[in-house]
């Protein structure tokens, strides 16, 4: 007999109360992003710089073998903080992170708003922070794949190919810098994306905003810096702030002579505003006033 003909059947189980709903939301969002057209291509493309820098670490430990091939590039192939700053501060990496955010994050909240999914979520035992936390975790997962995962591999490769712990003895703070910067960068971009995704009900609009806000801030910096030659205008640009701060984390010299704390404050301010706006925008139900 078909199930529909048997009538309604009860479920013989017990609902768990100790589960973490944010993990369910994050898992679903990751699976959805993974199913998207071109997303895998973008993600693997974004990992190309990490592979190149890993190869660089190998080559730096075998310079004798590659002497002819990399003549004149010895200074670049020295694995010191500046080497890692070149990876973490590279425009390509940040651009690919933006593409990941557009691909996996633009619709995270805007799609739910557009298709009225919030009442369904909040008719479950779910807090606002579970919902936001789940969406945040799904984005952070992909961004940490591009930042923290390569950082761990950089250190492992360096230790394996050098055959000693001298690198860690010289730069004992570097692993913490990798973790700290990866977490900060991923958190910033995740909140930035969620903020823009929550502002409308259209994922295309959110995608455009993610790219436009980022690049326009750099354009404004370029205009003002070109006119006034004042390095402090770097604080207008998200990209420049990220570069200033990544240099500070990696112990490298920042591009502009502006204290990194200011960049930290600007980026932290954006994160704080994002959290406040998200708390206001995400409601279990539309309240008509």
Partner 1 sequence: MNIELRNVRFSYGPVQALDGVTLQIGEGACGLLGPNGAGKSTLLKILLGFLRPSLGDGLVLGHDILKDSFGIRRVVGYMPEDDCFIPGLDAVAFTAHFGELSGMPRAEAMKRAHDVLYYVGLGEARYRLLETYSAGMKQRLKLAQALVHDPKILFLDEPTANLDPQGRTEILELISDITSKKDLHVLISSHILTDIEQTCTSLVILNKGKVAAQGDLAALREVRFSLYEMKVVGESGAFLEALRRRECRVETTEDGVIKVYLPQTVERRDLFGLAGDAGVQVRHFVKSRTSLEDLFARTVGVD
Instruction: Give least dist CB 109 to partner 1, A.
Output: 12
- Burial label for 162, CB within 10 Å (0-12, 13-18, 19+), is middle
Q: Yes or no: say if 203 and 196 are a contact pair by the CB < 8 Å rule.
A: no
- Of these, 32, 63, 145, 168, which contacts partner 1 (CB under 8 A)? 32
Whose tokens are 């390095």? That residue is 231
In order of 9, 107, 202, the CA distances from 207 in angstroms are 44, 8, 9
Task: Decide: 277 and 110 in contact? Cβ < 8 Å.
Answer: no
- Rule CB under 8 A: say whether 17 interacts with partner 1: yes
Phi-psi region of 178 (alpha: psi -120 to 50; beta: other; left: phi over 0): alpha
Min CB(3)–partner 1 separation in Å: 4
Interacting positions 57-86 with partner 1 (CB under 8 A): none
Torsion sign across C-alpha atoms 64, 69, 71, 77: negative
DSSP 232-268: GGGGG-HHHHHHHHHHHHHTPPPSSSS-HHHHHHHHH
Indicate whether 1 belongs to the interface with partner 1 (CB under 8 A): no
User: Which listed residue (51, 67, 125, 152) binds partner 1 by CB under 8 A?
Assistant: 125
Is 37 among the residues that bind partner 1 (CB under 8 A)?
Answer: no
Rule CB under 8 A: choose which of 49, 107, 133, 254 binds partner 1. Answer: 107
Using CB under 8 A, pick the residue from 78, 91, 123, 255 that binds partner 1: 123
Q: How far apart are CA 65 and CA 77, in angstroms?
A: 14
> Does the footprint of partner 1 cover residue 30 (CB under 8 A)?
no
Residue from 111, 159, 213, 232 in contact with partner 1 (CB under 8 A) = 111
Where does this chain touch partner 1 (CB under 8 A) — which range of 5-13, 73-81, 157-165, 240-248? Answer: 5-13
Q: Can residue 163 be called a binding residue for partner 1 (CB under 8 A)?
A: no
116 touches partner 1 (CB under 8 A): yes
What gap in Å lies between CA 250 and CA 173, rounded to an integer?
Answer: 9
| Residue 2 in the binding site for partner 1 (CB under 8 A) | yes
Within 256-285, which residues bind partner 1 (CB under 8 A)? Answer: 284-285
Binding site for partner 1 (CB under 8 A): 2-4, 7-11, 13, 15-17, 19, 21, 24-25, 28, 31-32, 35-36, 107, 111-112, 115-117, 119-126, 284-285, 287-289
């Amino acid at each position: 007999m078909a199930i529909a003909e048997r009538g309604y059947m009860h479920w013989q189980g017990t609902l768990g109360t100790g589960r973490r709903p944010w993990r369910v939301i994050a898992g679903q969002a990751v699976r959805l992003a993974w199913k998207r057209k071109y997303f895998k291509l973008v993600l693997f493309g974004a990992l190309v710089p990490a592979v190149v820098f890993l190869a660089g670490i190998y080559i730096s430990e075998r310079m004798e073998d590659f002497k002819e091939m990399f003549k004149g590039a010895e200074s670049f192939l020295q694995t010191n903080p500046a080497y890692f700053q070149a990876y973490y501060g590279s425009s390509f990496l940040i651009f690919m992170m933006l593409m990941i955010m557009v691909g996996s994050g633009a619709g995270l909240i805007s799609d739910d708003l557009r298709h009225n999914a919030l009442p369904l979520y909040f008719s479950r035992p779910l807090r606002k922070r579970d919902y936001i936390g789940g969406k945040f975790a799904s984005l952070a997962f992909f961004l940490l794949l591009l930042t923290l995962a390569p950082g761990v591999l950089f250190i492992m490769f360096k230790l394996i190919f050098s055959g000693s712990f001298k690198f860690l003895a010289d730069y004992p703070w570097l692993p913490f810098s990798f973790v700290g910067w990866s977490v900060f960068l991923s958190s910033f971009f995740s909140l930035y994306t969620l903020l823009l995704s929550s502002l409308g009900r259209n994922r295309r609009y959110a995608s455009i905003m993610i790219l436009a806000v980022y690049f326009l801030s750099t354009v404004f910096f370029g205009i003002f810096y070109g006119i006034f030659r004042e390095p402090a205008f770097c604080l207008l640009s998200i990209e420049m702030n990220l570069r200033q701060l990544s240099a500070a984390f990696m112990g490298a010299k920042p591009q502009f002579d502006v204290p990194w704390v200011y960049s930290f404050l600007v980026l932290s301010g954006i994160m704080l505003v994002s959290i406040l706006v998200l708390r206001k925008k995400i409601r279990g139900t539309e309240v008509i006033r």
